[in-house]
Amino acid sequence: MLGLQDRTQAVIPISHVEVDAATEELVLSVLRSGRLAQGPVVEQFEACCREMTGARHAVAVNNGTTALELALEALGVGPGDEVVTTPFTFAATLNAIIHSGATATFADVTDDFTIDPAGVEAALTDRTRALMPVHLYGLPADMDALTPWARRRGLRIVEDAAQAHGAMIGSRPVGTEDVATFSFYATKNISTGEGGVITTDDDEVADQLRILRNQGMRARYEYVVPGRNARMLDVIAALAIGQFARRTVMQTTRCTHAEFLGEALAGIGGLVLPAEPPGRASAWHQYTVRVTSDARVDRDTLAAELMKAGVATGVYYPRAVYDYDCYRSHPRVRISDCPRAERFATEVLSLPVHPALSQSDLERIAAAVRRVLA
Ligand SMILES: *Cc1c(COP(=O)(O)O)cnc(C)c1O
């Protein structure tokens, strides 16, 4: 937070990591303990993840992509299987499916940027084993529609909640539909630089995950499957403990910032603001607007003008995830028409919404957008 408010001429960043004094102390104490690898602090981290989600189990791993890969592996998803996912996501979602040996298929998104429950049926074949929705920008996908559908079809669910720490579906936090994964990468709502966790209520899946992350060992040198080394470090887990303690405050601040932007940016022609559908509360990982063809300038011009005004923005993501040669030509990527995702990729722009913004930062962001578009 240091100096963000004072440096009025500095660029307002799109994300900001704050390491407080208590965190420095905790990291130092882990360093001094000489026990750097997975141990008691990772257990503490997992307890925080259980508390955040209400899940029975949380299994910490080295990053969010590994979390997705192990989730699929623990569910037995592999060659010959298909996984339905969204075309509007980070490459990690798709890479995890491909590396499992399964084939990725897609259902388009709705205008809330998450997978369309009305579109998943068309992506289904008799090989479909799992549904992988993404809670993009922190907004939960419509799980009240998707979960009953998946159960009826006998599909497992892997929620990609990398961006959605503490997001809510009705009165329950995301992370317990079936198996869910979170990322603690440097830009996420809670960050350890690199880090991930899988949450689930399923005892067998959790048991499998703990074995898989540790070379397939149930006990020392008792190998039961060919596993991997996907463990988190104690010294890394220590970075998150203080953030979990401040989580509710940080989350409320993100919501307040989103509310401010919603009011300050209302009524600008061609600017579509993000909304939370009834019963779904966003973690506001990003505040993502759409700049449509009705706007005074296009998305990329707005982004360039905002940068000149000292406001950093982000484009997540500039293309549908399958729209790259390496995926278009991949034998295990089955592309279907996703016109909404492809259009949104040309229209989306994320504005800073993180908890380190000051009131004057927020006013500068809103004024700069108005100056260009209104
Ligand atoms: C960040 C992210 C991931 C991957 O997480 P890493 O920790 O960077 O491996 C997966 N899916 C989505 C949607 C993400 O935003």
CA-185 nearest atom, ligand 1:
7
- Distance (angstroms) between ligand 1 centre and the Cα of 320 equals 16
Q: Are the C-beta atoms of residues 92 and 99 closer than 8 Å to each other?
A: no
Handedness of CA 310, 311, 314, 315 (dihedral sign): negative
| Mean pLDDT, residues 287-297 taken together | 98
d(CA 47, CA 57): 9
Q: Is the per-residue pLDDT at 23 higher than 90? A: yes
CA-136 nearest atom, ligand 1:
13
| Mean pLDDT, residues 288-313 taken together | 98
Handedness of CA 189, 200, 327, 321 (dihedral sign): negative
CA-96 nearest atom, ligand 1:
10
| Predicted pLDDT at 372 | 98
Lowest mean pLDDT among 3-17, 190-204, 205-219: 3-17
Identify the burial level of 75 via C-beta atoms within 10 angstroms of its C-beta, where 0-12 means exposed, 13-18 middle and 19 or more buried.
buried
Structure tokens at 332: 């295990």
| Predicted pLDDT at 3 | 46
Percentage of residues of the chain with pLDDT beyond 90: 97
d(CA 28, CA 23): 8
> What confidence tens digit (pLDDT) does each residue in 200-239 have?
999 999 999 999 999 999 999 999 999 999 999 999 999 9
- Distance (angstroms) between ligand 1 centre and the Cα of 70 equals 14
| Mean pLDDT, residues 2-27 taken together | 80
Using most ligand atoms within 8 A of CB, pick from 65, 89, 113 the residue to mutate for ligand 1.
Answer: 65
d(CA 231, CA 59): 9
Handedness of CA 98, 101, 105, 111 (dihedral sign): negative
Percentage of residues of the chain with pLDDT beyond 70: 98
| Mean pLDDT, residues 72-85 taken together | 98
- Distance (angstroms) between ligand 1 centre and the Cα of 209 equals 18
Angle at CA 62, nearest 5°, toward 86 and 334? 25
Q: Is the per-residue pLDDT at 369 higher than 80? A: yes
- The mean of the pLDDT values for the chain is 96
Indicate the pLDDT class of residue 18, thresholds 50, 70 and 90.
confident
| Mean pLDDT, residues 3-24 taken together | 80
Strand, coil or helix: 19? coil
Lowest mean pLDDT among 13-22, 296-305, 346-355: 13-22
- Ligand 1 binding site (Cβ under 6 Å of any ligand atom): 63-65, 89-90, 92-93, 134, 160, 162-163, 183, 185, 196
Structure tokens at 265: 């940016």
CB within 8 A of 3, min separation 6: which ones? none
> What confidence tens digit (pLDDT) does each residue in 166-191 have?
999 999 999 999 999 999 999 999 99
Indicate the pLDDT class of residue 8, thresholds 50, 70 and 90.
low
Which residue in the block uniquely carries the two structure tokens 């798709």? 94
Task: Express the helix, strand and coil content of the chain in percent, nearest 5 each.
Answer: 40, 20, 45
| Predicted pLDDT at 9 | 65
Q: Is the per-residue pLDDT at 5 higher than 80? A: no
Indicate the pLDDT class of residue 2, thresholds 50, 70 and 90.
very low
Using most ligand atoms within 8 A of CB, pick from 93, 99, 174 the residue to mutate for ligand 1.
Answer: 93
d(CA 192, CA 241): 10
Using most ligand atoms within 8 A of CB, pick from 98, 134, 181, 185 the residue to mutate for ligand 1.
Answer: 185
Q: Whose CA is nearest to atom 13 of ligand 1?
A: 90
| Mean pLDDT, residues 85-104 taken together | 98
